[in-house]
Structures are given as structure tokens and as C-alpha cells.
């Protein structure tokens, strides 16, 4: 998971920099100094795994409201890997907990190049509620 975060950060960093968007990777190898700066001034894009998000909630629960107060979206990459799994249930719970903390619904976006059943994606992203709008774009490759 750390490698995936690092890979995504490497691919998106230049794009975000060109758009003047600050991006923060968060996993076990990120220094406590970088994490402290994010917690002091949360901004823009946070790349984090469900496990690191849970650790953040457990270890710095009082900071989660400040970190997520201005969250505009949850973007779940590789959505197909979460559907029907324990890890997926964990992720659903974490997103719900953050929404409860900030007192509002945060739109959820799922990305997957291999998911065939879009209704499953919608039900996963917003279980028990109004199913999410799920769009599919094929690259034709």
C-alpha cells in the first residue's frame, strides 16, 4: 500500500503542482514532521490508505475534525478491490465516521478500470442510502 501511495503521489504531484494544488501522502514511512504540518494546516489532497486513516482516527482522533472539516470528496481508487471485502467494510465505516465527525455528507467517488457492475459500485459507495451516480468511461484500450 505504501508503494501504491508513493506511485500515485509521483504521478499526480507534477499535475497538482501545475494546478497549484497541495498534495500530501500519508503512510507509515512519512515523517512525523510532514504529518504534523498537515494536521496544523490541512489542505487540498490527502493520499491515504484505509489502514492509515483508521490509525489517524485512533491515534489522533481529536485532529480528525480539523483535517477533514473542508473535505469535498472521498475518492476511492481501485474500487473493485474493496467491494465485498472486510477491507471494504472498514473503508465504508471510516468514511461514515468522518461524515459524522464533520456533520455533513461528503460525496464519494469510486475509480476502477475493471468493475463491470456499476450498481454494485453505487451501493458500496453509499450503502443504505440513495445509490451513488456511477459513470463508466472506457479508454478503448
Least confident span in 72-81, 88-97, 114-123: 114-123
What pLDDT is stored for residue 22 in this prediction? Answer: 85
Pairing of strands 74-76, 108-110: parallel
Angle of helix 50-59 relative to helix 86-102, nearest 10 degrees? 50
- pTM, whole model, 2 decimals? 0.80
What pLDDT is stored for residue 42 in this prediction? Answer: 78
CA-nearest of 86, 84, 106 to 95 is 106
Residue 103 burial (10 A CB sphere; 0-12, 13-18, 19+): exposed
Q: Distance between CA 110 and CA 121 in Å, rounded?
A: 7
Least confident span in 45-49, 63-67, 98-102: 63-67
Is residue 140 very low, low, confident or very high in pLDDT (cuts 50, 70, 90)? very low
Residue 20, CB-side half-sphere exposure with 13 Å CA sphere: 0
Domains of the chain and any CATH numbers: 2-125 (3.40.50.300)
Q: Distance between CA 131 and CA 120 in Å, rounded?
A: 9
Q: Cβ contacts of residue 127 below 8 Å, gap of 6+?
A: 92
Amino acid at each position: 500500500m505504501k508503494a501504491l501511495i508513493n506511485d500515485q503521489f509521483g504521478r499526480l504531484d507534477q499535475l497538482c503542482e501545475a494546478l497549484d494544488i497541495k498534495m500530501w501522502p500519508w503512510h507509515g514511512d512519512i515523517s512525523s514532521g510532514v504529518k504534523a504540518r498537515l494536521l496544523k494546516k490541512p489542505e487540498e489532497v490527502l493520499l491515504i490508505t484505509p489502514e492509515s486513516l483508521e490509525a489517524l482516527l485512533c491515534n489522533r482522533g481529536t485532529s480528525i475534525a480539523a483535517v477533514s472539516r473542508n473535505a469535498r470528496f472521498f475518492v476511492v481508487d481501485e474500487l473493485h478491490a474493496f467491494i465485498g471485502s472486510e477491507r471494504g467494510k472498514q473503508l465504508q465505516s471510516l468514511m461514515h465516521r468522518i461524515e459524522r465527525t464533520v456533520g455533513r455528507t461528503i460525496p464519494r467517488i469510486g475509480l476502477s478500470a475493471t468493475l463491470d457492475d456499476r450498481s454494485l459500485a453505487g451501493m458500496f459507495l453509499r450503502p443504505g442510502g440513495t445509490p451513488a451516480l456511477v459513470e463508466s468511461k472506457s479508454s478503448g484500450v
